[in-house]
Amino acid sequence: MRNAKQTAARRTRHLATSAPVRAARHTAGQATAALAALTVKRALDLLLGSTLLLLATPALAVAAAGLALRRRGGPVGVVRRETRVGLGGRLFELRSLSTRRCRFDLLSRLPHVVRGELSMVGPAPLTPDQAALLGAAASRWRHTVRPGLTGLAQVRARSGMPWDEPALLDAHYTEHHGAGLDLAILAQSVRIPLRTGLSALRLPGKAHLSDTDHRLPGYSVAE
């Protein structure tokens, strides 16, 4: 009888001590997975951000020189500076070229990606006033990820669907972000402007044909 009571007591003590251990292991596992995902995302940012910045630097230099020549003496500067909210709620100065031609404004933000203030993919970088309007709850989950050059809201917000509101899309991305989703969003971000540009092109000789274009000389309707 005494042995049975001792065994039950030891089992109770074991269960009492193992529950916190399991909880601690579960929390540590979640933290490790989150850290691994963050490391992969940061590595992707550094790889793509550095490569694109290297490739885009000549075009950005030409665009900046063109803006400087066109706006010499004008009130608008070549580089636009704005305060935005970043990872952890930290404020940083976002710098971009004052033009959207060929998306030079986005490409000029690539140094922020390399420095770690922006990510290639993430919620749109908000001003402090915009962040304050979202409330404390939205601010908390936004502070867990870096804002991005592009994001789920940017590639889906124009679909017209009621659930494709920017705030909902940003919240969904924050909850489910990963390397696979980032690559899919980047591919969509490239495909949309390419498709728009190609659809605007008209092949010469195809768009404006009429009956008079291929009538024989001397042809008359009366005949």
User: Measured between alpha carbons, how far is residue 124 from residues 43, 61, 137, 169 in Å?
Assistant: 20, 25, 17, 11
Q: Specify the higher pLDDT residue, 157 or 104.
A: 104
Q: Is the pLDDT of residue 128 over 50?
A: yes
pLDDT category of residue 211 using cuts at 50, 70 and 90:
very low
Q: Which two tokens stand for residue 188?
A: 């969509």
Q: Cβ–Cβ contacts within 10 Å for residue 164, how many?
A: 16
Q: Is the pLDDT of residue 216 over 90?
A: no
Q: Residues 9-43: pLDDT tens digits?
A: 566 555 555 656 565 565 666 666 555 666 888 99
Quote the pLDDT of residue 21.
54
Strand partners, 119: 148
Quote the pLDDT of residue 215.
43
Amino acid identity at 24: A
CA 145, 98, 193, 158 torsion: positive or negative? positive
Return all residues near 16 (Cβ < 8 A) that are at least 6 apart.
none
Q: Which two tokens stand for residue 55?
A: 């490739």
Of the ranges 2-6, 54-58, 70-74, 207-211, which one carries the lowest mean pLDDT score? 207-211
Judged by DSSP in three states, 68 sits in helix
Quote the pLDDT of residue 87.
92
pTM of the model: 0.69
Q: Residues 187-208: pLDDT tens digits?
A: 988 886 666 555 555 545 444 4
User: Measured between alpha carbons, how far is residue 26 from residues 23, 29, 113, 144, 177 in Å?
Assistant: 5, 5, 32, 20, 20
Q: Which two tokens stand for residue 171?
A: 């919240």
CB 103 within 8 A of CB 111: no
E strand residue ranges, the chain: 79-85, 91-97, 119-121, 148-150
Quote the pLDDT of residue 203.
47
**Taking the domains of the chain in order of start, what are their residue ranges?**
36-196
Quote the pLDDT of residue 208.
42
- Provide mean pLDDT across the span 157-184: 80
Quote the pLDDT of residue 189.
86
CB 86 within 8 A of CB 117: yes
Q: Cβ–Cβ contacts within 10 Å for residue 55, how many?
A: 12
Among 119, 38, 117, residue whose Cα is nearest residue 84? 117
Q: Specify the higher pLDDT residue, 199 or 48.
A: 48
Across all residues in the chain, what is the average pLDDT? 77
Of the ranges 43-47, 63-67, 160-164, which one carries the lowest mean pLDDT score? 160-164
